[in-house]
Amino acid sequence: MYHLDGDVEERTGIYDDWASAYEADTVGQLGYVGPPLVAALVADLVPAATPVLDAGCGTGLVGAELAARGFTVIDGVDLSEGMLKVARAKGVYRRLERADITRPLPFAPGDYGAVTCVGTFTAGHVGPEGIDPLLAAAGPGAYVVMTVLTQVWDGMGFARHVADLTHRGAAALVEDRPDQTYHTSEPLTCRVLALRAER
């Protein structure tokens, strides 16, 4: 998956096919821990009554982690209908829709106090251009909490893009946790970031 060229149709088809085995492969075999890392930070930043948008929600791992922490208003979007079907079966989302997070999302600014994005900003997937629609959906004062795979932080321009957002006053960098364990079964790490939308 990390060697895809970013083609949306190819990526979506792979995730549709992978949906039923995704959690066994990632959580079970690789020890994927991105979802609890982000859910814990969201719980530190906002009360559990806060509406949360889970962008790139996949099979609903983040939604389940948020629900376990008392969050009750969770919506999700993903490109893969197969992944959304698995997420829907978890029963923790209020609303699930198919959407491309690199494009404007069908929500009004201020609908959510927090937006999460886990496992999407990585090699072969979505670059830093995906951050801006999340900030727009969050609206002023709300948080965007995300993982960025360490190996793409500089190479794909995430460091430069986040610096530009803060320089322009579009967002404030609230939390930056580098070198967080991403897979417990291999030396793969991520950065966990929290941005606050400023305008």
Is residue 2 situated within a structural domain?
no
Is residue 170 situated within a structural domain?
yes
**The token pair that represents 63 in the structure block:** 């939604």
Is residue 3 situated within a structural domain?
no
* Coil, strand or helix at 146: strand
The DSSP secondary structure of 147-179, one letter per residue, reads EEEGGGTTTTTHHHHHHHHHHTTSEEEEEEEEE
Mean pLDDT confidence for 19-29 = 83
Is residue 108 situated within a structural domain?
yes
* Residue 129 to residue 85: CA distance in whole angstroms: 27
Is residue 120 situated within a structural domain?
yes
Is residue 136 situated within a structural domain?
yes
Check whether 152 has a pLDDT greater than 70.
yes
Is residue 114 situated within a structural domain?
yes
Mean pLDDT confidence for 115-130 = 89
Structural domain range at position 53: 8-197
Residue 131 belongs to a domain with what CATH number? 3.40.50.150
Domains in the chain, number:
1
Please check whether residue 63 is in contact with residue 137, taking contact to mean a CB–CB distance below 8 angstroms: no
Check whether 66 has a pLDDT greater than 60.
yes
pLDDT score at 4: 43
Q: How confident is the model at residue 11 (pLDDT cuts 50, 70, 90)?
A: very low
* Residue 128 to residue 179: CA distance in whole angstroms: 18
Please check whether residue 86 is in contact with residue 60, taking contact to mean a CB–CB distance below 8 angstroms: yes
pLDDT score at 109: 83
